[in-house]
Amino acid sequence: MATTLQQSRTSKAKRYTPPLVVWAFLIPGAILLGIFLVAPFALAVGMSFTSLRLISPLPLKFLGWQNYARTFVDPLFRQALQNNFLFALVVVPLQTSLALWMAILVNQKIRFVKFFRTLFFLPLTTVLTVAATVWSLLYIPDTGFVNGFLRALTFGHFQPHWLYDPHFALTAVMIVGIWQSAGFQMVIFLAGLQEIPEELYEAVAIDGAGSWTKFRYVTLPGLRNTLIFVVTVTTIFAFRLFDAVYIMTKGGPLGSTETMLLRVYEVGFDQQKIAVGAAISVVFFLIVLVVSIIQRIFVHEEGGLA
Amino acid sequence: MSLIKTVRSPKLLAAPATATKSRFSWASLPRQHLVSYVFMSLLGAFFLLPLIFMVVGSLKPNERVLAEGDSWRAFIPTSVTGANYVDAFQQADFLHLFFNSVVITGSIVSISLVINSLFGYALARFRFRGRALLIAVVVALIIIPLESYVIPLLYMVARLQWVDTYQVQILPFIANPFYIYLFYTFFLNLPKELEEAAQIDGADLWRIFTRVMLPLAGPVFATVAILNFLSSWGQLLWPIMVTHGPEVRPLPLGVAEFQTEPPFHWGTVMAFATMMTVPTVAVFILFQNAFVRGVARSGIKG
């Protein structure tokens, strides 16, 4: 089969498709991508160097790096950046290992796993707005279930004020993020797990390997690319944090849940400082870009093996 | 190669075939399995309880939702009323926002399936100058998130006087480089023989696409439709920026709105949230196998 595929491919390689047909297939998408992605993105970079505001009596000026300089001395932006990094630092390892553990649990050949798979996946069907709303009730200090549960567990010794306490608000947001999206990562891990040939497990089992050895020397190496993918997606998710904080805290208390995208919204939309907002979003993009490049470097190495 | 590999990847959410058909009994379980069940139940509770709280809360009188919030009664319908649902319709205008969300998400999902599949197919199968470059551009564009150009996009649509319209919430989300890429890799991995046979039979390119390729492409269409549905249905940032009044607002804004004007009728909020979640649950239940198969097959894994 592989050889016939090869032959048919080479025999057709030199024939070009009629340009009219190519255009008909490509043009609708190309126009929309151009207008609604490429153009505004180029504009974002361009306007971040200007003095543009939504409504302004002053003439448009070229400011160079001034908007960026202003952004990086803004204490709220610094806090937002720090929060995003902290979120990534905590949530990425936690959620990735949780999702992997869930995937391994429900990948066993035992009864009812289908039921549990569906259960773990279910929070994903609530959009983040709904998830954040429901959790903000669970987090209410006096009458919320989270503290009711902790009261029973710690005899009333541990009663944080969650969304009202700068030391706990970000943690509360992290838990909602993990709750809502761990199921998606689990499904991706499941797909990866089922690609690992059963024979590999049988082979190490013959050598008398325990479950840790199997995990360490068969499962983990087999999931290498899946792991890289999940880590990348979760990292980018951490920097895109907006919906949950917008609903639950609006960045407070005392900026403890401020995020970069919340700053984009506050500066670029609320305060109508379009150019500064664009500068923040360009910084946001550069972080996403770096994360993606790191992913591609790691996956590329694997290319030769796969 | 990758095609052969994926064929053996089984339905992920379907239970694996159990070797024994004997009757189930907890007592005969190996200890290791019992431990697994304990862990899975604890995790299950963590994931399920907030959802139960939402549904149960939607059925309780408003004041009970918080009053009973800190005990296990939070998850038990201690007294049932339909008043919250009536309020969600009458006061929160659920039906209107639901209609808006259906129009917006429905248009995005259906139109984007057509446009992105055409683009992906052309990249995978046609021979033309600049094809390799175009593929590279599409892959590069995947990295750019909406949020990084949302401010100039807002500036553009404000200039066009598109604020408070449906099209401003639809048109920017039709063409999507990631979905194009999913279609592209899917079509690339389909064997070419079928198309060539159709070509010999005299079918033109359009017929080949609609009659030969589309029927085979169910899984990738399902994947893209579901991913797209989930992200459109939940959108918050963009609608906040481009809608000022309730006329064309989608559902997530309705939920967000509740928390800005006291007094908070939490039972009503939960009823609203529950009804908003029903379509997503329905889509998930109807298409879960297609979805998960699609995820596994489309090279989402990178």
Per residue in A1-35, pLDDT (tens digit) is: 444 444 445 444 457 888 888 899 999 999 999 99
Distance to chain A for B185, nearest Cα, Å: 16
Q: Is A285 in contact with B24 (Cβ distance < 8 A)?
A: no
| Partner residue opposite A278 with nearest CB, options B151, B241, B258 | B151
Residues of chain B with pLDDT under 70: 1-27, 261-263, 291-302
**What domains lie within chain B, and their CATH numbers?**
31-81 (no CATH), 93-297 (1.10.3720.10)
**How much is the pLDDT for B2?**
36
Maximum distance among all Cα pairs of chain A, rounded to whole angstroms: 79
Q: Say if CB B264 and CB A151 are below 8 A apart.
A: no
Residues 162-191 of A with CB under 8 A from B: 179, 182-183, 187-188, 190-191
Write down the pLDDT at residue B265. Answer: 85
Residues of chain A scoring pLDDT < 70: 1-14, 300-306
A100 touches chain B (CB under 8 A): no
Dihedral angle sign, alpha carbons of residues A171, A177, A178, A179 = positive
Q: Do A247 and B256 touch (CB under 8 A)?
A: yes
CA distance B251 to A126: 12
Chain A residues with CB-CB distance to B69 below 8 A:
137-138, 140, 143-145, 148
d(C-alpha B108, C-alpha B170), whole Å: 6
| pLDDT for res B108 | 97
| Nearest residue in chain B measured CA to CA from A118 | B13
Provide ipTM, 2 decimals. 0.87
Cβ distance A129 to B33 less than 8 Å, yes or no, reads: no
* Alpha carbon distance B239, B164 (integer Å): 9
Compute the nearest-CA separation of B62 from chain A (Å). 13
**Nearest-neighbour CA in chain B from A303: distance (Å):** 11
Q: Give the span between the Cα atoms of B173 and A32, in whole angstroms.
A: 9
Q: What is the largest CA-CA distance in chain B?
A: 73
Cβ B128–A126 below 8 Å, yes or no?
A: no
| pLDDT tens per residue across span A246-280 | 999 998 899 999 999 999 999 999 998 899 999 99
- The whole-angstrom distance between A287's CA and the closest CA on chain B is 11
Whole-angstrom Cα distance, residue B61 to residue B78? 10
Cross-chain Cβ contact A15/B69 below 8 Å: no
Does B71 contact A at CB distance below 8 Å? Answer: yes
Interchain CB distance below 8 Å, B301 and A47: no
Cβ distance B156 to A32 less than 8 Å, yes or no, reads no
Looking at chain A, list the stretches that DSSP marks H as alpha helix, in order from N- to C-terminal side. 2-12, 19-33, 39-47, 66-73, 75-106, 113-121, 128-138, 145-154, 169-193, 198-206, 211-214, 220-222, 224-239, 243-248, 260-263, 274-303
Q: CA nearest B220: which of B143, B302, B293, B111?
A: B293
| Residue numbers in B near A121 (CB within 8 A) | 13, 284, 288
SS3 of residue A256 by DSSP: coil
Q: How far is CA B210 from the centre of its chain?
A: 25
The pLDDT value given to residue A238: 93
Note which residues in 191-210 of chain B have CB less than 8 A from chain A. 191-193, 196, 205-206
Angle of helix B218-233 versus helix B177-189 axis, rounded to 10: 170
Chain A CB contacts of B19 under 8 Å are 109
Q: What is the pLDDT of residue B18?
A: 46
CB-closest option in B122, B266, B302 to A229: B302
What is the model's pLDDT at position A305?
35
Chain A: nearest CA to B210, how far in angstroms?
12
Q: Would the CB atoms of B302 and A232 count as touching at under 8 Å?
A: yes
Q: Which of A3, A8, A122, A295 to mutate to test the interface with B (most CBs of B within 10 A)?
A: A122
Please tell me the predicted confidence (pLDDT) of residue B294: 60
Contact A111 B119 (CB under 8 A): no
User: With an 8 Å Cβ cutoff, is A51 touching chain B?
Assistant: no
Domains and CATH numbers, chain A: 69-303 (1.10.3720.10)
Supply the pLDDT for residue A182.
Answer: 93
Instruction: Compute the count of residue pairs across chains A and B with CB atoms less than 8 Å apart.
Output: 311
